[in-house]
Amino acid sequence: MSHSTSAPAVASTPSAADPADRRMPFGRWMAEIGWRHIVGLLAVAFAAFPIIYILSASVNPLGTVSSTSLIPTSFSLDHYRTLLAGERGPFLRWYLNTIIVCAAVSIVQVLLSTLAAYAFSRFRFAGRRMGMLSLLLVMMFPAILSMIAIYTMISGLGQAVPLFGLDSLPGYIIVLLGGSLGQVWLIKGFFDTVPKELDEAAIIDGCTHWQVFSKILLPTLTPILATTLLISLVGVMSEFLLGSIFLTSNDSKTLAVGMYTLLSGDRSNNLGVFAAGSVMIMVPVIILYQFLQRFIVGGSTAGAVKG
């Protein structure tokens, strides 16, 4: 761990690095470390300026594109009030809808993926290898590629069972459940890390396969499954294509669809309100991510792609 791609000889013992820094003349410090800070600060500026701009726009009382700058010149919470009062669309309803959709879809997704991953990890059966590989292949063709067929299927189902029709949250949710096995590979990896001797011992003690799963393996993996759940949750949140063709009435929209219609309806005048909404959506998620940072850094090489 103690390597560094451009470390000079002095730094090869990391513990000695700090005092060495201070003794360095400024020119040397610039050449070795200072320039790294300059690059880092540039990157920070690039990463942060859109966020700062949105924060600033959300408290700028005029709320138009032309009147907003990076540094807010005046402060008011009017846009938050307008938005929460529902004057530009039922924002709280969208928020609730999004929570319902994200919670339902990601809980079911992680649950069903975990069940299937248990079978793939712990049982040996005919078609197992084929099953895993075809799963990987099918997952390459997400539902949005077949949007037309999905649309007509759900419109047909809605004629018989209006609860699951177009423009209804349950209908939208069951469609997204098509990706229920999306986390099987990832979770199977976690299962594989738990030694098999554990469940063999349990079976000898008289456990059924279901008890091995629910009483032995599930508790062991709960923390990592919770992380998987939250990552899946943020992914579901950004689903837009199917939402935009399914959820047409204002009260059934999710945040992604609602915020899009809000902004594209009157781009120049709704900026402030949009910004206020964005802040209310971003803040909880960013807090969540900072909290989960170490899991994400560790798990990112396991194949998670931002959705």
Partner 1 sequence: MTTTQAPAHRSRSSSIPTILGKVLLLGATLAIAIWIIPALIALQQWLWVAVVLFAAIGIFVLYTTKRFIPGKYIFPGTFFLVVFLIAPIVLTFAYSFTNFGDGTRGSKEQAVSAIMGNSVQQAPDSPRYGLSVATAGDPAAGPYTFFLVDPEDQKVYQGSLEQDLTPVPAGDVTVEGGRVTEAQGFTILTMPQINAAGREIQQVSVKVDEDSAIRMLTANQAFEGTATMVYDEEADTFTNTTSGAVYTVQKVGNTDYFVDEAGNRLPQSWLQGVGGANYMRLFTDGKIAGQFLKAFGWTLVFAAGSVLSTFLVGFALALVLNDERMKSRRFYRSVLLMPYAIPAFIAILMWSNFYNRDFGLINQVLHLHINWLGDPTWAKAAVLLTNLWMGFPYMFIVCTGALQALPGDVMEAAKIDGASRLQTTMRVVMPLLLVAVSPLLVASFAFNFNNFNAIQLLTEGGPFPAGEYTRGGTDILISMIYRIAFGGSGADFGFASAVSVALFVLTGVIAALQFRFTSVLEDVN
Footprint on residues 100-159 left by partner 1 (CB under 8 A): 112-113, 115-116, 118-120, 123, 125, 128-129, 131-133, 135-138, 140-153, 155-159
User: Cα Rg for the chain, rounded, in angstroms?
Assistant: 25
Binders in 204-233 for partner 1, by CB under 8 A = 204, 206, 208-209, 213
Q: How far is the CB of 78 from partner 1 (least distance, A)?
A: 18
Residue 225: partners with Cβ closer than 8 Å, 6 or more residues away: 110, 114, 187, 190, 218
Q: How far is the CB of 75 from partner 1 (least distance, A)?
A: 19
Rounded Cα distance, 304 and 180, in Å = 16
Please spell the DSSP secondary structure of 207-271, one letter per residue. Answer: --HHHIIIIIIHHHHHHHHHHHHHHHHHHHHT--HHHHHH--SGGG--HHHHHHHHHHHSTTTSH
Within 251-280, the residues that bind partner 1 by CB under 8 A are: 255-256, 259-260, 263-264, 267-268, 271, 274, 278
Q: Do 118 and 241 meet the contact criterion of CB atoms below 8 Å apart?
A: no
Structure tokens at 91: 């924002």
Q: How far is the CB of 129 from partner 1 (least distance, A)?
A: 5
Residues in 276-305 at the binding interface with partner 1, rule: CB under 8 A: 278, 281-282, 285-286, 288-290, 293, 296-298, 300-301, 303, 305
Q: Using CA atoms, how far apart are residues 206 and 203, in angstroms rounded to an integer?
A: 5
Query: Contacting partner 1 (CB under 8 A), which of 7, 31, 85, 107?
Result: 7
Q: Which is nearer to partner 1, 181 or 225 (CB)?
A: 181
Sign of the alpha-carbon torsion through 109, 235, 193, 223 = negative
Residue ranges in 26-85 that form contacts with partner 1 under rule CB under 8 A = 32-33, 36-37, 39-40, 43-44, 46-51, 53-54, 57, 64-66, 69-70
Contact 175, 152 (CB under 8 A): no
The position carrying tokens 């360095």 is 24
User: Of 17, 96, 100, 194, which lies in the binding site for partner 1, with binding defined by CB under 8 A?
Assistant: 17
In the bound state with partner 1, the residue whose beta carbon lies nearer, of 45 and 77, is: 45
- Residue with smaller CB distance to partner 1, 86 or 156: 156
Binding footprint of partner 1, residue count (CB under 8 A): 128
Residue 282, Cβ neighbours under 10 Å: how many?
13
Looking at 79-87, 88-96, 169-177, 219-227, which segment touches partner 1 (CB under 8 A)? 169-177
Q: How far is the CB of 224 from partner 1 (least distance, A)?
A: 17
